[in-house]
Structure 1
Amino acid sequence: MTDPSTITVRPGGPGDAKAALRLLDVATAWLVEHGRTGQWGTRPPSTDPGQIARAEDWAASGDLHLAMRDDQPVGALVVGAATEHVPPATEPELYVRLLVTDRAHAGLGIGARLLEHAAELARARGLGLLRVDCYGGDDRALVRFYESCGFTATEPFTVVRPGREPWPGQLLVRRLD
């Protein structure tokens, strides 16, 4: 793993939607290459008008944060309110809506650094709960990654998608003390 101090995190802004989409495209291509199409499908997010609009909203809202290495975006984090497909929290929380890293920089601790940044944001807001959901299918490697970062798996759930296979999800929580 690289020295974590070489990875910095900065707030995203309106000009950073393309960086988030590039990271999503790279991650989607990697997933497809490895036969893991259940998570995000096969279509590059940058070609999907809904994903483009979502990335622009993230960038404009102040909810986007970018991991930087040598002035290059190598990861993206979006925090905010929980998604509609998970049970509501029973206390105030910060929710990780997106975590994606550049596969060319895998093994450098970028995802863990971004999750720690999310925890710092939550603490700064006086919140004691950080939640995230992720793809819970295949070999559950993504669930194990979040668990390695201090999260505990709670409720599994399924997102029904008209005309497509159901999406198996896993909700995870991390208490912040």
Structure 2
Amino acid sequence: MTIRRAGRDDVPAVLALLDGATEWLVERGRTGQWGTRPHSTSPHRVEQVTGFATDGGLWVGESARQEIVGAIAVGEALEYVSPPTEPELYIRLLVTDRASAGQNLGGALLDHARELARAADVRVLRVDCFAGGDQALVGYYERQGFTRDVAFAVPRVNEVDWLGQVLIQRL
């Protein structure tokens, strides 16, 4: 996989990855993380991913056939988590093609984020993820070298709170 900085033209492909991941979660009855609707139909999500591309923090991984098989967005912490207490690079989004599962695409994208942090002389990476259900995603980040920091909940109207976990990795 080759990793390159993404632009606005890559936004539809990143949204397609998110849609595919959501389909995969729904097929397994795991709707708590992202619900059931495609991200590509959410104006908020389209605006968010476009913003990641516009601010230069979106990176995509391409296969040998130049197909986008993963994406990572880095930058400042999102508004629903506690602000940093020291300089950091925040992982705002990580998604990979479910058809490519088992190829360590997510690990390679996380390695890229580590390289970006080191190049910026930053020694802390933070990320948040869904912490409901079986906490499989929390476990994934722990296997990638992150440790749990702060748990949080995002209130939602007429739905149960979205449970999240901030994880940290010192470089």
C-alpha distance in 2 between matches for 1:17 and 1:144: 28
Give 1:60's match in structure 2, choosing from 50, 54, 59: 54
Corresponding residue of 1:4: none
For 2:142 and 2:2, the matched residues in 1 are separated by 23
Match of 2:151 in 1: 156
Equivalent residue in structure 1 for 2:137, among 123, 137, 142: 142
C-alpha separation in 1, matches of 2:44 and 2:150 = 27
SS at match of 1:86: coil
Q: Distance in 1 between matches of 2:31 and 2:70?
A: 20
Residue in structure 2 matching 1:13, options 3, 7, 25:
7
Please point out which of 68, 87, 90 is paired with 1:92.
87
Matches within 5 A, 1:116-127: 116-127=111-122
Superposition deviation, residue 84 in structure 1? 1.5
Counterparts of 2:55 and 2:83 in 1: how far apart (Å)? Answer: 22
State the 1:163 CA deviation: 2.3
Q: Secondary structure at the match of 1:27?
A: helix
Shift of 1:161: 1.3
Which residue is equivalent to 1:43? 37
Structure 1 residue runs of 5 or longer lacking an equivalent are 1-6
Distance 1:51 1:140 in 2: 23
**Map of 2:98 onto structure 1:** 103
Percent of paired sites with the same residue: 53
How many residues are aligned here?
170
Residue 103 of structure 1: how far off its partner (Å): 0.2
Q: If the length of structure 2 is used for normalisation, what is the TM-score? A: 0.97
> Is there any run of 5+ residues in structure 2 with no aligned partner, and where?
none
Contact 1:17/1:58 (<8 A) preserved:
no
**Structure-1-length-normalised TM-score:** 0.94
CA RMSD in angstroms, aligned pairs only = 0.8
Cα deviation for residue 52 of structure 1 reads: 1.2
Separation (CA, whole Å) in 1 of partners of 2:123 and 2:146:
13
Match of 1:114 among 109, 112, 123: 109
CA distance in 1, matches of 2:49, 2:149: 28
**SS class of match (1:100):** strand
**What is the Cα deviation at residue 86 of structure 1?**
1.4
Deviation at 1:26? 0.3
Secondary structure (helix, strand or coil) at the match of 1:84 reads coil
